[in-house]
Amino acid sequence: MVRVPLTPAHRERGERLGRLLRDSRADRSLADVAGAAGISAETLRKIETGRIPTPAFFTVSALAGALGLSLDQLVAAAAPVPDAPDARAV
């Protein structure tokens, strides 16, 4: 399967999601949060740094639970910017 390259808007959304997760983690270690979510620390590191800008729903859901965030908060953080040219294509 060939992946369609991510647009700059998709990458920016992934960076915003990563920032929210990193900020929500606060003083908890990356390994602690990753373990609570059932994912590897490396996967969480990649999500937080934007290297995985479109993580799977179940990964995002598990991270929300581990961090005490609602999915609504995560959706708001990663919502497309209305003025972005490819916002409607998401």
Query: For residue 31, what is the domain's CATH number?
Result: 1.10.260.40
Q: Tell me if 86 is assigned to some domain.
A: no
Q: Tell me if 54 is assigned to some domain.
A: yes
pLDDT for residue 60:
94
Task: Reply yes or no on whether the pLDDT at 87 is more than 70.
Answer: no
Amino acid, res. 15 = E
Number of domains in the chain: 1
Q: Which segments within the chain are labelled E, that is strand?
A: none
Tell me the pLDDT tens digit for each residue of 30-79: 999 999 999 999 999 999 998 888 899 999 999 999 999 999 988 888 88
pLDDT for residue 22:
95
State pTM to two decimals: 0.81
Structural domain that includes position 76: 8-81
Task: Reply yes or no on whether the pLDDT at 29 is more than 90.
Answer: yes
Q: Tell me if 56 is assigned to some domain.
A: yes
CA distances from 44 to 4, 76, 77 (A): 23, 20, 17
Tell me the pLDDT tens digit for each residue of 3-16: 778 888 888 989 99
Please say whether the beta carbons of 55 and 22 come within 8 A.
no
Q: Tell me if 40 is assigned to some domain.
A: yes
Q: Tell me if 88 is assigned to some domain.
A: no
